[in-house]
Amino acid sequence: MQGDAHPSFGLDAALAKSGYTLVISEKTDVAEKIASAVGNGRPTKGFVNGIPVFAVNSENNRYIICAARGHLYGVADPGEKRSIFPVLDLEWRSLDRISKNAGDANKRINLIRRLAKGATSFVNACDLDLEGETIAANILKYACGDAETRSLRAKFSTLTTENLTSALRDARPPLNSRLAAAGRTRHLIDFIYGINLSRALSMAVYAVRPMRGALSIGRVQGPTLARVVDREVEIMSFVPTPYWSISLDLTKDTGAHLKARYLSGTVDREARAHEIVNKCRRQEATITRIKKHASQLNPPVPFNTGDLQREAYRVFGYSPSETLHLAERLYLNALISYPRTGSQRLPSSLDYRKIITQLSKISSYATMAKWLLAGQLLPHCGPQEDPAHPAIYPTGEIPRRTLHEREAKIFDLIVSRFMAIFGKTALQETIEAVFSVGVHDFVVNGSRTIRLGWVVYYRRYLKLQETLLPPLSEGEVMNVKTVHKVEKFQYHPSRYTPSSLLAAMEVDGIGTQATRSEIIRTLYERQYLAEKAMVPSEMALTVVNLMRTHSPGILSVEMTQKMEKSVEDIRQGRVDPKSVVEDAIDYLLPSMEQMHRAQRTLGKELARAMNETVNSRNSLGVCPLCKNDSLFIVRSKKTGKRFVGCKNYSKGCSASAPLPQRGSIIPLKRCCKQCGWPIMRAWRRRRPWVFCVNVSCSSKVDGGKTNLSSSRPSITKRS
């Protein structure tokens, strides 16, 4: 940003000269962009207690711009005791009074409070969604002295200078405060469910066995976890059923080969499969039907949040939360529009030609942009709409810095998709040739691309399958060279991936575009899920099983769908927020009573599951010395340090190894090829490294004389 950075902002001068407009944004980067865009000249940047503030003089107004950095207020239990539930009397508090990890929330609130005193008007420039509106509403209410009704709303979907300038110039008083009311109600309901259910579970464990670690379950978390657990139960209790697939190897006199499969699909009886094979052996196959069909593949629709997250997982393997994080960074660099959106539509007012012309300045898009600009630009949009934001699109801004590899990949995906939506329909021809061998029919399928159309813009991420067939004609006879009968077994349903779970949540209507990926991340953090394959832990299985027995309503998708609908009704002005909260409490209380009655049963089961989960997480497999399945991560009661030890220590096994004391560590469930000791991964300050726990391992530099930290690079390389 161009501007002067002063160590001391000169706040006193600003306050003394009151009569400015206080603009509140959600993030510092956005505040900086607004200052840069609106500043008629050079904006001034300063710091008050380390918090950046921007001052701008435009043609006829003076703006002071500061950022909230997410929520500064949250819902809290005014009571002091954490063991009491149900908690139904709640209040909004500043974040520093709720959490020890509130960062600089208190400093920001104090600064906004001081700046509000000299402000004559307020502009809410937070993100235009439920969360953004809640953030702004709370700040305007609690820090700016009930300034909600006096504030103006700046609406923007991109951080381009043009968009921000017009957003501030056209800022209007909000038509109503329903969006904020909906957001605040959602927070209240989620807190009521989260705190009460989690306390009920945690206190049940504590009543049986005082142990560390809290259990959590929530309104969205519960049904999501239940989905994953149900799938796991299906997999673990799966009995494969046999079936047989039959195929023919066909040869033409010209020497061409074809493989045809049984037209009716699979055969479910062994005797029947035998019979078919016997009747087809050493016979001739006649082509009785050739069907050609041209199929159209319409261009894709622009990304909404969920579509982008799923596509990024499919092509790059990025988790939904990581994709959202990367997209947000691109948005903050004004490269793409706001990425938290449910819309698959682009506004007709958008100047597509201008965006594509600007993108053509990036060499990798120059040719494709030229093709698009030669024709008419009509986007292919999807059915989903979002009143707050359009679908995700590139703004046409050229990156001013070199994007990180992952950012660049997401940016390219969004640009490619944006270009593809203007492409022509792709055309493929499919051919189906049916061969008759006596009374049995077999089929050969082929396909070829007639026109690439939009795929040309998206070819890095999509390849059209092609199976070319030799020339065939009806009545033609081919020889059956071999008949194959293969015994197969049905496969169990696959585990959810972050992408498929996200899609399932979307279909169920649980969570929002903004929160779904966070919910999945929370399930990992709470140790309900392990590994990339989303394997639920014993704790997850037990929590879901117990909740189903004692309060099934909490896990029902219908319950959370009903709540989402109520929040939407508040937004539409159809219901009173108070009645929605009361309904939620009425639904929750019977479940709480039931859980309280079964406290001891719940506690015993949960304590067992917690122990088992911890043991399984800390288990490292077979001890290389005593050869028992007994190596695990231990924490010394005396020093509090963690190390690798053997359960047979009391029986004389001396296997032990030091571990890094800081950062996170996870066993990789595999052994070192050199010494047979377990391999682990550690993280510290976002830097992961893989190592063999054995300090004397021959794979280490200096024959194991070096300590873990100094041997990190070579170990990482070898593993």
Partner 1 sequence: MKNEKTCTICDRPRLEKSYCTFHRTAYENLKRGFKKWKYAYVSITYEDYLLRILTIKETGKWVRDVALHQMKKTELAAKVVSN
Q: How far is the CB of 628 from partner 1 (least distance, A)?
A: 19
Residue 237 sits in the site that holds partner 1 (CB under 8 A): yes
Q: 94 has which bridge partners? A: 73
Answer whether 82's CB lies under 8 Å from 76's CB.
no
Rule CB under 8 A: choose which of 209, 269, 293, 532 binds partner 1: 269
Q: How far is the CB of 228 from partner 1 (least distance, A)?
A: 15
Q: How far is the CB of 604 from partner 1 (least distance, A)?
A: 8
**Listed ranges 231-239, 383-391, 522-530, 647-655: which one lies at the site for partner 1 (CB under 8 A):** 231-239
**Listed ranges 2-10, 165-173, 213-221, 236-244: which one lies at the site for partner 1 (CB under 8 A):** 236-244
Show the site string, 180-219: x = touches partner 1 by CB under 8 A, - = not: ----------------------------------------
Nearer CB in complex with partner 1: 268/531: 268
Give residues 79-118 in contact with partner 1 (rule: CB under 8 A): none
Nearer CB in complex with partner 1: 261/492: 492
Rule CB under 8 A: choose which of 242, 446, 509, 660 binds partner 1: 242
**Listed ranges 14-22, 267-275, 317-325, 475-483: which one lies at the site for partner 1 (CB under 8 A):** 267-275
- What's the 3-state SS for 520-556? HHHHHHCCCEECCCCEECHHHHHHHHHHHHHCHHHHC
Residue 230 sits in the site that holds partner 1 (CB under 8 A): no
Rule CB under 8 A: choose which of 541, 554, 555, 588 binds partner 1: 541
Q: How far is the CB of 235 from partner 1 (least distance, A)?
A: 6
Cα dihedral 124, 125, 127, 132 in deg (nearest 10): -30
Nearest Cα neighbor of 283 from 179, 137, 132, 436 is 436
Residue 143, both tokens: 């820090």
Answer whether 354's CB lies under 8 Å from 394's CB.
no
Answer whether 478's CB lies under 8 Å from 250's CB.
yes
Phi, psi of 563 (to 5 degrees): -65, -45
Q: How far is the CB of 542 from partner 1 (least distance, A)?
A: 8
Determine the size of the site formed for partner 1 (CB under 8 A).
Answer: 24
CB-side neighbour CA atoms (13 Å) of 13 = 5
**Listed ranges 18-26, 61-69, 442-450, 541-549: which one lies at the site for partner 1 (CB under 8 A):** 541-549
Determine whether 338 is an active site residue.
Answer: yes
Residue 158, both tokens: 């991109």
Nearer CB in complex with partner 1: 13/239: 239
**Listed ranges 210-218, 232-240, 393-401, 405-413: which one lies at the site for partner 1 (CB under 8 A):** 232-240
Q: How far is the CB of 620 from partner 1 (least distance, A)?
A: 21
Residue 14, both tokens: 């600003």
Answer whether 506's CB lies under 8 Å from 275's CB.
no
Nearer CB in complex with partner 1: 149/489: 489
Nearer CB in complex with partner 1: 608/681: 608
Token pair 């349903």: residue: 493
Strand pairing report for 151-153 and 119-125: parallel
Distance CA 71, CA 184 (A): 12
Residue 6 sits in the site that holds partner 1 (CB under 8 A): no
The Cα-based distances of 341 to 82, 127, 512, 572 in angstroms read 37, 11, 9, 18
- What do you get for the CA distance between the two ends of the chain, in Å? 44
Residue 490 sits in the site that holds partner 1 (CB under 8 A): yes
Show the site string, 594-613: x = touches partner 1 by CB under 8 A, - = not: -----------x--x---x-
Q: How far is the CB of 598 from partner 1 (least distance, A)?
A: 12
Q: How far is the CB of 609 from partner 1 (least distance, A)?
A: 9
Q: How far is the CB of 236 from partner 1 (least distance, A)?
A: 4
What angle do the packed helices 352-359 and 405-420 form, to 10 degrees? 140
Answer whether 76's CB lies under 8 Å from 89's CB.
no
Distance CA 604, CA 664 (A): 29
Residue 235 sits in the site that holds partner 1 (CB under 8 A): yes
Rule CB under 8 A: choose which of 211, 214, 236, 486 binds partner 1: 236
Residue 275 sits in the site that holds partner 1 (CB under 8 A): no
Nearer CB in complex with partner 1: 4/268: 268
The Cα-based distances of 343 to 188, 336, 703 in angstroms read 26, 14, 59
The Cα-based distances of 584 to 190, 563, 589 in angstroms read 10, 8, 9
Token pair 């309280």: residue: 596
Number of Cβ within a 10 Å radius of residue 428: 20
At residue 259, the 3 state secondary structure works out as strand
**Listed ranges 182-190, 309-317, 486-494, 687-695: which one lies at the site for partner 1 (CB under 8 A):** 486-494
Residue 643 sits in the site that holds partner 1 (CB under 8 A): no
Give residues 54-83 in contact with partner 1 (rule: CB under 8 A): none
Rule CB under 8 A: choose which of 491, 650, 652, 685 binds partner 1: 491
Distance CA 62, CA 38 (A): 10
At residue 621, the 3 state secondary structure works out as strand
Residue 492 sits in the site that holds partner 1 (CB under 8 A): yes
Show the site string, 146-185: x = touches partner 1 by CB under 8 A, - = not: ----------------------------------------
Rule CB under 8 A: choose which of 4, 91, 162, 270 binds partner 1: 270
Distance CA 272, CA 555 (A): 45
Residue 545 sits in the site that holds partner 1 (CB under 8 A): yes
CB under 8 A, 24+ apart: contacts of 88-97? 88/192, 88/585, 90/188, 90/191, 90/192, 92/138, 92/142, 92/184, 94/142, 95/71
Residue 243 sits in the site that holds partner 1 (CB under 8 A): yes
Answer whether 360's CB lies under 8 Å from 369's CB.
yes
Answer whether 498's CB lies under 8 Å from 534's CB.
yes
Residue 238 sits in the site that holds partner 1 (CB under 8 A): yes
Residue 619 sits in the site that holds partner 1 (CB under 8 A): no
Distance CA 154, CA 164 (A): 8
Select which of 338, 352, 461, 496 is catalytic: 338
At residue 376, the 3 state secondary structure works out as coil
What amino acid positions are annotated as catalytic residues?
Answer: 338
Residues that bind partner 1 (CB under 8 A): 233, 235-243, 268-271, 489-492, 541-542, 545, 605, 608, 612
